[in-house]
Each structure stands twice: as C-alpha cells, then as structure tokens.
C-alpha cells in the first residue's frame, strides 16, 4: 500500500509541473525551459543521492539496467520537450489530459512487454480514461 502514497504524491507534484510550467512558459522558449527544468532536476537528484547515501550503489549497475535507464532518460527528455511545447501553445487543461493518456499506453505496453494482466476490468477502466480525456479536450 506504500506505493499508493507515492503514486498520489507523484500526481500532486505532476499537477504542479503543469501549472507552474504554464505560468513560467509565458515569456520563455519551451525547449530552453525544458533544459532549465532538467538541470534543476539533475542537481536536485544528486543532492537526494548524497543525502540518502545512495552514491556507493552505483557499482550495482549492470549493462542491461544502464541501457534501459539511458533510453528511459531519452524518452523522458523527449516527453518533457514535447509537453512544454504543447503547454506553451495550448491550454494546460487540454494538454495535461492528453499527456496523461500515457497511462493508456502504459497499460497496453505493460500487457504486451511485461506480461501484466489485461482483464475486462482493466479494459473498461482504460476505455473510461480515453472517453474522459476526449470529453475534457473537446472544449
């Protein structure tokens, strides 16, 4: 159940990203903003690693983990770049729900690549997410 607390905190702070970024993007290029955000996140995470004494665990990395972490980083950077461009050009209340459609893709990819169950209940919930997103973005 501990995962739920962290998932809720993630959602709260992700909402902050959308609102704070939309305000901050009013007079700045979205790619520059993404670079600044990435730098701040890098510094913050280095401080977290130092504070939690996780730096020595770097020797536990293996090639497979590093490969996937690198490509996850590239995927995240592309996601943030496109998100900030969309946020600069559109309404936060429309851009954010489309961005959160990644949940639908995650559910599908998790079933295809991770072997997670795709039950009728999951399919119905996924369909409701799609319908809800469409209702929100078609303002």
CB 30 within 8 A of CB 88: yes
Q: What per-residue confidence (pLDDT) applies to 1? A: 85
Provide the residue-wise pLDDT of the chain in tens; the chain has 139 residues.
Answer: 899 999 889 989 999 999 999 999 989 999 999 999 999 999 999 999 999 999 999 999 999 999 999 999 999 999 999 999 999 999 999 999 999 999 999 999 999 999 999 999 999 999 999 999 999 988 7
- Which tokens in the block code for residue 124? 């119905």
Q: What is the DSSP letter of 25?
A: G
3-class DSSP state of 113: helix
Domain segments of the chain: what residues? 2-90, 101-139
Q: What per-residue confidence (pLDDT) applies to 139? A: 73
Q: How many residues does the chain have?
A: 139
Predicted TM-score of the model (pTM): 0.83
Whole-angstrom distance, CA of residue 81 vs CA of residue 134: 23
Whole-angstrom distance, CA of residue 32 vs CA of residue 22: 14
Determine the longest span between alpha carbons in the chain, in angstroms. Answer: 51
């Amino acid at each position: 159940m501990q995962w739920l607390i962290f998932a809720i905190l993630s959602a709260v702070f992700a909402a902050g990203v959308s609102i704070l970024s939309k305000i901050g993007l009013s007079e700045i290029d979205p790619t520059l903003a993404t670079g600044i955000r990435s730098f701040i996140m890098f510094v913050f995470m280095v401080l977290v690693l130092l504070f939690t004494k996780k730096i020595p665990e770097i020797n536990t990395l293996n090639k497979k983990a590093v490969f996937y972490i690198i490509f996850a980083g590239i995927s995240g950077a592309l996601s943030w770049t496109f998100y900030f461009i969309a946020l600069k050009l559109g309404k936060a209340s429309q851009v954010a729900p489309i961005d959160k459609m990644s949940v639908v893709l995650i559910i599908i990819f998790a079933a295809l690549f991770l072997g997670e169950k795709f039950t009728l209940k999951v399919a119905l919930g996924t369909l409701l997410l799609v319908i809800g997103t469409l209702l929100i973005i078609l303002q």
